[in-house]
């Protein structure tokens, strides 16, 4: 057992509860553990007793656990309550789960992103669970007049062995709620875990499979109107004027006007990112009517001059101009040849390159990508004179609440942001411009509205994965030994470089440089930001380098990792070489690496990002000259796995996503216009292109859990590229690979 | 505007809408049947699949006038208690991640299973290619369809 200081203080909780004014509403009917066969809903308790921010216990023993973080398919609504349930020592069948509203005073960080949900919640939720358990124990000890240390718990039951006294948690819930919060509590030993490490089915699965209203787009209130925006058709254009004479007479249309979603005086934060700040808005009774009027609205656009704004207290600018992919490529190529900003330099790389017998140099590129979450951007808002309520998909309410408050001219405590289940996110919904737009529209109309983006609106509205380029160089001596390593990486508009990642630390002479080119095309985090490209480039290059040196690609990586482990170069290496090597060794064993089946072409890749280590081996076959990934074996070190089957599901999905984006994903531009606006032209991976088998293996250890949403995504690209090389004899440097394949 | 009579999940409805309104928006905006999802609006993603006279159609491009007087089944009416073999299988395999596309996936799979009671992987791939899952749960969908076929065979 581990003793921890308790920081789930009752005082702050009570204060926070008063602020909320009873905003928490219970929505549930099925217990968490219910299977298809168990048709009986749990009896709703007559009274709940709150033991802390996350835990309520009914007099009948039913336990309600709050999921603090927004759910977008990573299964936090199940996995986070499992952590609470573990330390509380309850039977999962007696649990109901509620989604928390945005309420940071009570729940702390409520952010879904960066693969941080489980990692960030692990310690606070264990402590909260253990604290509530201890309060129940203390309440029973007082009543039974026995020492608390003699009371044990199991599956929601308190037991005093010596006297034979026994009671369910429900019987002591009322008394426990009055116990002062203990200053220190004991946490379970890892090998005593019963719920953490098991597989628990998604608590929302029944509602999903029967079409219940779970998503923002499903939300409706009495008198709610539908709002749609018309944004500029190209980056670099802005609103000039509109003619609504036809549109405003169309059936069901209530109002047509323009809004400025962000005014110039607002100091933006990174997650306020938005491509367009002035919109035409069409509001009406139903979605279809608004869509028709939107088409009939005539808007004139004009070229926008350089736009300046404040971000984090500093001046920021969007350059003017209508950009094209062709121009981007030319600019990036130019910068690969000019010196960048040096981010890390070990030894004397320049001299080592001069002394080299051979230099291998390769450049890799990747295009802009759209996130394409299945549920388009939307948000409900009802803003009145003295309060605002929002309900919609957002990964990061905390990042938007300040801006929202400033833009509405309303204090934060008057703004309630409720967290809808999200139909995917992939980073796109970390940016909350749609919450602001919805609120500003509602404030203007003084009516409840639901803002709805069409698929086309969303795909052409920005916040994309940036386009990137990276040039790798390796210096070899006459014996084919590695002398020096050089990476120079940049992008539009940001550099993807992680200077202290592998193979930094494994090579005496090392140089990392970055560069960036400004753009008015807005970008944002996309599943494993920056890593999704750096992994592709680096792991493709290491594969080619291993071949050049006559080494097996796994052996070569392990040799470098051995060096980084036993005699690391530099102090700032941000990875654990032993854990890195661990996933490579595991994937090698599980895949029978050396025994490639006939007709199969294998590629390996491994990467560390978002605190987890993942190695993957792709088995690819060629059918009618087209590649098909048949099988993927993954080895993952994310510490303790909380919900095993859910973690496997995440890895499977990330791998399918990676295969799809590596082969097909791209959003090209011409004169500022995104050249794809729907799934008819933007190719997403489909069932027939998905692997038949994905084997996921976890490293068993007792490390605190780390992320699963992003780490399995990053390595896929290079594993596919390396397998494609073995299939075709040709290296693939530019994503999406299908374009290179077609042009060869 | 005109009154269109609809029979959805066995229940009669009369809606006063422009006859060219897609069935999707009539279901979602007028009848509060929001299990049928909007994903693309151009019959490309399959999130809006419903059954019209037993056939899988994309409700986002199906005018409500085409459904007049015909039997429409949505995810809400696929089974009375949420226990269609596909729903049971989806739950056992724990298919969903975000869950947004899954009603469309199930509605497409239901027609497949009726036509081909024991589909092969290739038949599943062919039938389900019109349904995008952005979370990438395709392997689980395949597995769940095979399992649903088994459950269906046991019932028969």
Higher pLDDT: A112 or A683? It is A683
Beta strand ranges found along A237-313 (DSSP E): 237-243, 253-260, 267-268, 278-284, 298-303, 307-311
Residue at which a domain ends, from B53, B77, B101: B77
The upper half-sphere exposure of residue A594, i.e. CA atoms within 13 Å in the direction of its Cβ, equals 5
The answer to whether the Cβ–Cβ distance between B29 and A288 falls below 8 Å is yes
Contact between chains at A687 and B94 (C-beta distance less than 8 A): no
Q: Between chains, do B96 and A39 touch, taking CB under 8 Å as contact?
A: no
Identify all chain B residues contacting A206, using CB atoms and an 8 Å cutoff: 82, 91
* Mean model confidence pLDDT for chain A: 93
Interacting residues of A479 by C-beta distance below 8 A, sequence separation 6+:
none
Q: Whose CA is closest to A516, among A363, A340, A668, A370?
A: A340
Q: Are residues B98 and B116 in the same domain?
A: yes
Cβ–Cβ below 8 Å for B94 and A422: no
Determine the residue among A39, A208, A694 to mutate to test chain B binding: the one whose Cβ has the most chain B Cβ atoms within 10 Å: A208
> Mind listing the pLDDT tens digit for each residue in A683-740?
999 999 999 999 999 999 999 999 999 999 999 999 999 999 999 999 999 999 999 9
Domain boundary among B32, B49, B77: B77
Which residues lie across from B17 on neighbouring strands?
B2
A82: helix, strand or coil: helix
What's the average model confidence in pLDDT over A43-64?
90
Q: Which residues contact A341 (CB under 8 A, 6 or more apart)?
A: A513, A514, A515
- pLDDT of A16 reads 34
* Chain B CA closest to residue A36: B88
Question: In this model, does residue A4 exceed pLDDT 50?
Answer: yes
| Predicted local distance difference test score (pLDDT) of residue A12 | 39
Any bridge partners for residue B71, and if so which? B7
Asked if the bond preceding A493 is cis, omega within 30° of 0, the reply is yes
* A30–chain B nearest CA distance, Å: 13
Band (A21; pLDDT cuts 50, 70, 90): very low
Residue A1's pLDDT band, with cuts at 50, 70 and 90, is very low
- Would you say A77 and A67 are in contact if contact means Cβ atoms under 8 Å apart? yes
Taking contacts as CB-CB distances below 8 angstroms, the residues of chain A near B74 are: 211
Q: What is the CATH number of domain A526-743?
A: 3.30.365.10
Percent of chain A with pLDDT over 70: 94
> What are the CA-CA distances from residue A169 to residues A127, A156, A163, B147 (Å)?
18, 5, 18, 39
> Mean pLDDT, to the nearest integer, of A370-375?
98
DSSP structural state of residue A734: B
Residue B133 structural domain: 85-155
Please check whether residue B19 touches A, CB under 8 A.
no
Task: Give the number of other CB atoms < 10 A from CB of residue B53.
Answer: 10
Q: Chains A and B: how many Cβ contacts under 8 Å?
A: 197
Q: Is residue A235 predicted with pLDDT exceeding 70?
A: yes
Of all residues in chain B, the percent with pLDDT exceeding 70 is 100
Q: Is A424 on the interface with B (CB under 8 A)?
A: yes
CA–CA separation, A211 vs A456, rounded Å? 25
Domain match, B94 and B147 both: yes
Same domain, yes or no: B110 and B141: yes
Nearest C-alpha neighbor of A612 from the set A641, A569, A572: A641
Is B91 found in the same domain as B65? no
- From B35, B81, B133, residue closest to A211, measured CB to CB: B35
| Residue ranges covered by each domain of chain A | 2-209, 216-311+377-452, 526-743
Neighbours of A626 (CB within 10 A): 12
- Find, among A652, A657, A651, A649, the residue nearest to A637 by Cα: A651
pLDDT at A343 over 70: yes
pLDDT value for A14 = 35
User: Do B123 and B112 form a contact (C-beta atoms < 8 A)?
Assistant: yes
B 42-81: CB under 8 A from A = 42, 44-45, 47, 74-76, 81
CATH classification of the domain holding B148: 1.10.150.120
Distance, in Å, from the CA atom of A191 to the CA atom of A197, rounded to the nearest integer, reads 10
What per-residue confidence (pLDDT) applies to A616?
98
Contact B40 A679 (CB under 8 A): yes
Q: Are residues B67 and B121 part of one domain?
A: no
User: Residue A105's pLDDT is what?
Assistant: 87
Where does the pLDDT of residue A17 fall: very low under 50, low under 70, confident under 90, or very high at 90 and above? Answer: very low
Q: How far apart are CA A397 and CA A390, in angstroms?
A: 10
Residue A33 has pLDDT above 90, yes or no: no
Q: What is the mean pLDDT of residues A105-123?
A: 88
- Quick check: A438 and A451 in contact, CB under 8 A? yes
CB proximity list for A95: less than 8 A, separation 6 or greater: A31, A32, A33, A62, A63, A64, A65, A81, A85
Rounded Cα distance, B20 and B36, in Å: 18
DSSP string, A417-486: EEEPBPS--TTGGG--HHHHHHHHHHHHHTS-EEEE--HHHHHTS--BBPEEEEEEEEEE-TT--EEEEE
Is the predicted pLDDT of residue A108 greater than 90, yes or no? no
Residue B156 has pLDDT above 90, yes or no: no
My answer on whether B89 and B62 are in the same domain is: no
Exposed/middle/buried for residue A285 (C-beta within 10 Å: 0-12, 13-18, 19+): middle
User: Shortest Cα distance from A321 to chain B (angstroms)?
Assistant: 30
> In terms of domains, do B89 and B54 share one?
no
How many whole angstroms separate alpha carbon B138 and alpha carbon A693?
10
Q: How far apart are the C-alpha atoms of A504 and A319, rounded to whole Å?
A: 35
Q: Which of B38, B97, B131 sits opposite A649 (nearest CB)?
A: B97
Query: What CATH number labels A216-311+377-452?
Result: 3.30.365.10
Sheet with A151-154, edge to edge strand ranges = A151-154, A157-160, A165-168
* pLDDT, tens digit, 9 for 90 and up, residues A129-165: 999 999 999 999 999 999 999 999 999 999 999 999 9
DSSP state at residue A119? H
pLDDT for A557-613, tens place per residue? 999 999 999 999 998 999 999 999 999 999 999 999 999 999 999 999 999 999 999
| pLDDT for residue B30 is more than 50 | yes
For domain A2-209, say whether CATH 3.40.50.300 is its number. Answer: no
* Alpha-carbon distances, residue A50 vs A56, A121, A135, A175, A514 (angstroms): 4, 19, 11, 11, 52
Averaged pLDDT for residues A103-112? 88
Residue A687 is nearest to which of B32, B96, B128, comparing CB atoms?
B128
Which pTM value belongs to this model?
0.95
Q: What pLDDT band is residue A305 in, cutting at 50, 70 and 90? A: very high
Whole-angstrom distance, CA of residue A130 vs CA of residue A4: 10
Q: Which H, E and C letters describe A40-54, residue by residue?
A: CCCCCCCCEEEEECC
pLDDT tens per residue, range A508-543: 999 999 999 999 999 999 999 999 999 999 999 999
Based on the fold, state whether residues B10 and B45 are members of the same structural domain: yes
Distance CA B155, CA A428 (A): 44
Q: Is the peptide bond before A736 cis (omega within 30 degrees of 0)?
A: yes
* Phi and psi at residue A712, to the nearest 5°: -75, -10
Whether A355 and A483 have beta carbons less than 8 Å apart is answered as yes
- Quick check: A209 and B102 CB within 8 A? yes
- B138 interaction partners in chain A (CB closer than 8 Å): 656, 685-687, 690
Q: How far is B138 from chain A (nearest CA, A)?
A: 6
Q: Looking at the partner chain, which of A72, A656, A691 has a beta carbon nearest the beta carbon of B98? A: A72
ipTM of model: 0.98
Q: What are phi and psi of A248, to 5 degrees?
A: -75, -15
The string of pLDDT tens digits covering residues A179-228 is 999 989 999 999 999 999 999 999 999 999 999 999 999 999 999 999 99
Chain B: give the shortest CA distance to residue A31, in Å. 14
Q: Tell if the CB–CB gap between B83 and A215 is shorter than 8 Å.
A: no
- Range from A22-26, A36-40, A123-127, A650-654 that averages highest in pLDDT: A650-654
Query: Does residue A602 contact residue A662 with C-beta atoms inside 8 Å?
Result: no
pLDDT of residue A273: 82
Q: Nearest residue of A to residue B98 by CA position?
A: A73
- Is residue B46 located within the same domain as residue B99? no
Binary contact (B94, A649; C-beta < 8 A)? yes
Nearest CA in chain A to B28: A218
- B111 and B64 belong to one structural domain: no
The predicted-structure confidence for B45-95, as pLDDT tens digits, reads as follows 999 999 999 999 999 999 999 999 999 999 999 999 999 999 999 999 999
Residue B29 touches chain A, beta carbons under 8 Å: yes
Report the alpha-carbon distance of residue A352 to residue A523 in Å, rounded.
37
Of residues A420, A400, A421, the one with CA closest to residue A412 = A400
Residue in B29, B42, B83 closest to A680 by CB? B42
Q: Is the pLDDT of residue A668 over 60?
A: yes
CB A304 within 8 Å of CB A320? yes
**Which pLDDT value is given to residue A15?**
32
In terms of Cβ atoms closer than 10 Å to its own Cβ (0-12, 13-18, 19+), residue B54 is exposed
Going by C-alpha positions, the residue among A664, A504, A266, A426 that lies closest to residue B100 is A426
CB atoms A211 and B103 under 8 Å: yes
Q: Residue A41: which pLDDT band, with cuts at 50, 70 and 90?
A: low
State residue A3's pLDDT score: 55
CATH number for position B48: 3.10.20.30
Whether A357 and chain B come into contact, CB under 8 Å, resolves to no
Q: CA nearest A434: which of A406, A393, A387, A389?
A: A393
Rounded to a whole number of angstroms, the CA Rg of chain A reads: 28
Give yes or no: residues B63 and B111 share one domain.
no
List the 451-480 stretch of A: residues with Cβ below 8 A of B.
454-456
Number of domains composing chain B: 2
Contacts of A676 (CB under 8 A, 6+ apart): A370, A459, A666, A667, A668, A682
Helix H or strand E segment including A628: strand A626-637
Pair (B30, B56) in one structural domain: yes
Tell me whether the CATH fold assigned to A2-209 matches the one assigned to A216-311+377-452: yes
């Amino acid at each position: 057992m581990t003793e921890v200081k308790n920081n789930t203080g009752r005082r702050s909780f009570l204060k926070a509860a008063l602020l909320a004014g009873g905003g928490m509403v219970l929505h549930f009917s099925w217990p968490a553990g219910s299977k298809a066969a168990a048709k009986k809903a749990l009896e709703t308790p007559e009274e709940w007793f709150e033991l802390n921010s996350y835990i309520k216990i009914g007099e009948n023993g039913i336990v309600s656990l709050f999921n603090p973080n927004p759910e977008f398919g990573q299964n936090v609504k199940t996995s986070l309550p499992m952590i609470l349930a573990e330390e509380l020592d309850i039977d999962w069948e007696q649990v109901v789960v509620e989604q928390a509203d945005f309420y940071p005073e009570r729940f702390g960080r409520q952010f879904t992103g960066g693969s941080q949900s489980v990692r960030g919640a692990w310690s606070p939720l264990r402590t909260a669970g253990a604290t509530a358990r201890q309060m129940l124990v203390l309440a029973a000890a007082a009543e039974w007049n026995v020492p608390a240390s003699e009371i044990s718990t199991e599956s929601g039951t308190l037991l005093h062995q010596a006297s034979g006294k026994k009671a369910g948690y429900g019987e002591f819930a009322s008394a426990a709620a009055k116990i002062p919060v203990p200053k220190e509590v004991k946490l379970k030993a890892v090998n005593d875990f019963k719920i953490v490490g098991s597989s628990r089915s998604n608590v929302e699965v029944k509602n999903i499979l029967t079409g219940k209203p779970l998503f923002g787009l499903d939300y409706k209130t009495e008198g709610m109107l539908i709002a749609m925006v018309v944004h500029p058709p190209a980056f670099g254009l802005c609103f000039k004027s509109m003619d609504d004479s036809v549109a405003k007479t169309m059936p069901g249309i209530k109002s047509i006007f323009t809004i400025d979603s962000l005014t110039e005086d607002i100091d933006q934060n990174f997650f306020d990112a938005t491509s367009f700040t002035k919109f035409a808005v069409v509001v009406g009774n139903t979605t279809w009517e608004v869509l028709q009027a939107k088409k009939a609205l005539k808007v004139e656009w004009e070229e926008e001059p350089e736009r300046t704004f404040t971000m984090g207290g500093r001046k920021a600018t969007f350059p003017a101009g209508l950009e094209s992919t062709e121009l981007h490529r030319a600019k990036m190529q130019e910068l690969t040849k000019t010196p960048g900003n040096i981010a890390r330099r070990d030894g004397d790389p320049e001299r080592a390159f001069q002394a080299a017998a051979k230099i291998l140099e390769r450049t890799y590129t990747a295009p802009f990508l759209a996130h394409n979450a299945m549920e388009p951007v939307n948000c409900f808002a009802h803003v009145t004179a003295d309060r605002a309520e929002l309900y919609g998909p957002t990964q990061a309410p905390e990042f938007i609440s300040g801006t929202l408050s400033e833009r509405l001219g309303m204090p934060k405590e008057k703004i309630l942001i409720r967290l809808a289940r999200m139909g995917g996110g992939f980073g796109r919904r970390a940016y909350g411009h749609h919450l602001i737009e919805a609120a500003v529209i509602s404030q203007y109309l003084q009516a409840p509205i639901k803002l709805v983006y069409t698929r086309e609106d969303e795909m052409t509205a920005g916040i994309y994965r940036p386009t990137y380029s990276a040039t790798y160089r390796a210096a070899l001596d006459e014996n084919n030994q590695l002398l020096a390593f050089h990476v120079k990486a940049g992008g539009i508009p940001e550099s993807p470089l992680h200077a202290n990642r592998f193979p930094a630390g494994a090579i005496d002479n090392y140089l990392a440089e970055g560069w960036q080119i400004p753009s008015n095309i807005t970008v944002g985090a996309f599943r494993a930001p920056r890593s999704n490209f750096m992994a592709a480039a680096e792991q493709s290059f290491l594969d080619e380098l291993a071949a050049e040196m006559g080494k097996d690609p796994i052996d070569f990586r392990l040799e470098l990792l051995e060096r980084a482990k036993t005699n690391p170069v530099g102090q700032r290496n941000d990875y654990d070489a032993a854990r890195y090597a661990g996933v490579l060794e595991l994937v090698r064993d599980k895949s029978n690496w050396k025994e490639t089946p006939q007709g199969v072409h294998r590629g390996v890749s491994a990467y560390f990002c978002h605190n987890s280590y993942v190695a993957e081996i792709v088995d690819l076959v060629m059918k009618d000259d087209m590649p098909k990934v048949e099988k993927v074996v993954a080895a993952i070190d994310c510490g303790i796995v909380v919900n095993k089957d859910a973690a496997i599901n995440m890895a499977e999905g990330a791998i399918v996503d990676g295969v799809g984006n590596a082969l097909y994903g791209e959003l090209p531009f011409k004169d500022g216009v995104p050249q794809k606006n729907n799934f008819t032209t933007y190719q997403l991976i489909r069932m027939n292109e998905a692997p038949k088998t994905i084997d996921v293996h976890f490293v068993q250890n007792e490390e605190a859990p780390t992320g699963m949403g992003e780490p399995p995504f990053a390595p896929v690209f290079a594993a596919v590229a390396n397998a494609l090389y073995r299939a075709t004899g040709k290296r693939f440097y530019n994503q999406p690979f299908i374009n290179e394949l077609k042009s060869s | 505007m005109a009154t269109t009579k609809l029979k959805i999940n066995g229940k009669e409805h009369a809606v006063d809408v422009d006859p060219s309104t897609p069935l999707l928006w009539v279901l979602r905006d007028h009848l509060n049947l929001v299990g049928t999802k909007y994903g693309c609006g151009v019959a490309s993603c399959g999130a809006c699949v419903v059954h019209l006279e037993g056939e899988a159609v994309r409700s986002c491009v199906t005018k409500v006038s085409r459904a007049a007087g015909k039997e429409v089944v949505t995810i809400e009416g696929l089974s009375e208690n949420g226990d269609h073999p596909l729903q049971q299988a989806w739950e056992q395999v724990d298919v969903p991640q975000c869950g947004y596309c899954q009603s469309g996936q199930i509605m497409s799979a239901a027609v497949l299973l009726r036509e081909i009671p024991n589909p092969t992987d290739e038949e599943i791939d062919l039938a389900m290619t019109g349904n995008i899952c952005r979370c990438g749960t395709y392997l689980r969908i395949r597995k769940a369809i095979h399992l649903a076929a088994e459950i269906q065979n046991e019932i028969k």
